[in-house]
């Protein structure tokens, strides 16, 4: 039950969270309101206390040193299960890797909320206001962060990052004219999902079925001979999985046209299937660059298509990528 697996879920969310804030800049202006310097605010992972301790060791914040202000840090501080986003425990999903050579399945991920704190430390109040003003408008109160999970399988999910609150702190030393450090702590909740182990689904779909039966009738008075017949069927993909674009349309196509002119029909042949904008078609005849088709095969919607629409072939290779839960057709042969 508890076999080893590691999907790097928390790591992916933490890295994605940090990437949102690694391009923040501040500007300093002179008396004429002209910018005299632009500084990108450094960002690092770690607790605020560590950075404040280093500040305490260097009283002169204007001195060139490895630790100076402004600076930002963030830290993963809490993890809570989120029952409001719970889904059916037996529901499964299917993913394939970027090359399409491997298909796996797993149970739907479990919803968890990650608490992440972003600390902003500055010496000047104007620096703080510049930084905060670049962050807050994007959270109303959440921002959807797209993250690729599951490594090479790249299961892309939008993770809501919700701003929960802001805590402000002034740290003075000496009189009120000397500001030692100004610290704002922004608390966020990342509504993520925890994926379990994945298993291979190559054997989950029945690839071929052979049915035997007796044709004819043995009823008295009838002369129809009896004979054994076998009928073999295999799943046939009704959509393109490997993005095999072979040509394009050279005209607009309405919903009634059955003869389509394409840019190059050299890779198309009769008695095969193609896909144009999710509509499946069956090629009856190829004549030059004109193809005669049956429209809306296997229940797909008959649509209008514009000039330049991609034409994708549906081949036996696509049948290898039929996913659990997909609709598919059958080919067949009597022998």
The answer on pLDDT for 334 being more than 50 is no
The answer on pLDDT for 104 being more than 50 is yes
Q: State pLDDT tens for residues 203-254.
A: 555 555 555 555 554 445 545 555 555 555 567 788 887 788 899 999 999 9
- Domains delineated in the chain: 9-200 (3.30.2000.40), 234-334 (no CATH)
What are the residues facing 247 on neighbouring strands?
311
d(CA 94, CA 238): 18
Q: In terms of DSSP H, where are the helices of the chain?
A: 9-19, 48-57, 125-135, 316-319
The answer on pLDDT for 27 being more than 60 is yes
pLDDT of res. 302: 92
Question: Residues, the chain, total?
Answer: 335
d(CA 313, CA 294): 15
pLDDT of res. 58: 55
pLDDT of res. 211: 53
When pLDDT is cut at 50, 70 and 90, the band that residue 264 belongs to is very high
Which DSSP string do the residues of 306-334 spell out, in sequence order? -TT-EEEEE-HHHHTTPPTT---EEEEEE
Only one residue has tokens 């004979």, namely 227
pTM of the model: 0.54
Q: State pLDDT tens for residues 184-198.
A: 999 999 999 898 888
Rounded to an integer, the average pLDDT of 250-278 is: 92
The answer on pLDDT for 66 being more than 50 is no
Q: 261: exposed, middle or buried (C-beta count within 10 Å: 0-12, 13-18, 19+)?
A: middle
């Amino acid at each position: 039950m508890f076999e080893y697996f590691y999907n790097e879920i928390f790591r992916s969310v933490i890295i994605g969270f940090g990437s949102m804030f690694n391009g923040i800049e501040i500007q300093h202006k002179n008396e004429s309101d002209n910018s005299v310097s632009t500084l990108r605010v450094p960002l690092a992972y770690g607790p605020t206390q560590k950075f404040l301790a280093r500040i305490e060791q260097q009283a002169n914040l204007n001195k060139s040193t490895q630790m100076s202000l402004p600076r930002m840090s963030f830290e993963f501080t809490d993890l809570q299960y989120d029952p409001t986003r719970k889904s059916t425990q037996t529901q499964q999903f299917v993913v394939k890797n970027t090359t399409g050579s491997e298909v796996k399945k797993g149970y739907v991920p479990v919803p968890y909320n990650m608490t992440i704190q972003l600390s902003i430390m500055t010496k000047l109040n104007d620096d703080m206001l510049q930084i905060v003003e670049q962050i807050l408008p994007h959270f109303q109160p959440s921002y959807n962060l797209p993250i690729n999970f599951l490594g090479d399988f790249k299961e892309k999910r939008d993770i809501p990052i919700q701003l929960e609150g802001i805590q402000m702190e002034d740290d003075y030393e000496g009189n009120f004219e000397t500001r030692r450090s100004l610290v704002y702590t922004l608390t966020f909740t990342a509504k993520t999902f925890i994926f379990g182990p994945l298993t291979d689904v190559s054997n989950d779909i029945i690839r071929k079925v052979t049915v035997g039966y007796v044709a004819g009738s043995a009823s008295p008075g009838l002369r129809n001979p009896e004979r054994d017949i076998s009928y073999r069927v295999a799943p046939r993909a009704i959509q393109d999985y490997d993005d095999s674009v072979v040509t394009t349309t050279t005209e607009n196509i309405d919903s009634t046209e059955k003869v389509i002119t394409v840019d190059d029909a050299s890779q198309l042949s009769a008695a095969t299937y193609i896909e144009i904008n999710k509509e499946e078609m069956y090629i009856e005849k190829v004549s030059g660059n004109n193809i005669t088709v049956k429209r809306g095969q296997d229940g797909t919607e008959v649509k209008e298509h514009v000039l330049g629409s991609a034409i994708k072939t549906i081949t036996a290779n696509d049948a290898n990528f039929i996913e659990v839960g997909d609709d598919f057709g059958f080919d067949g042969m009597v022998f």
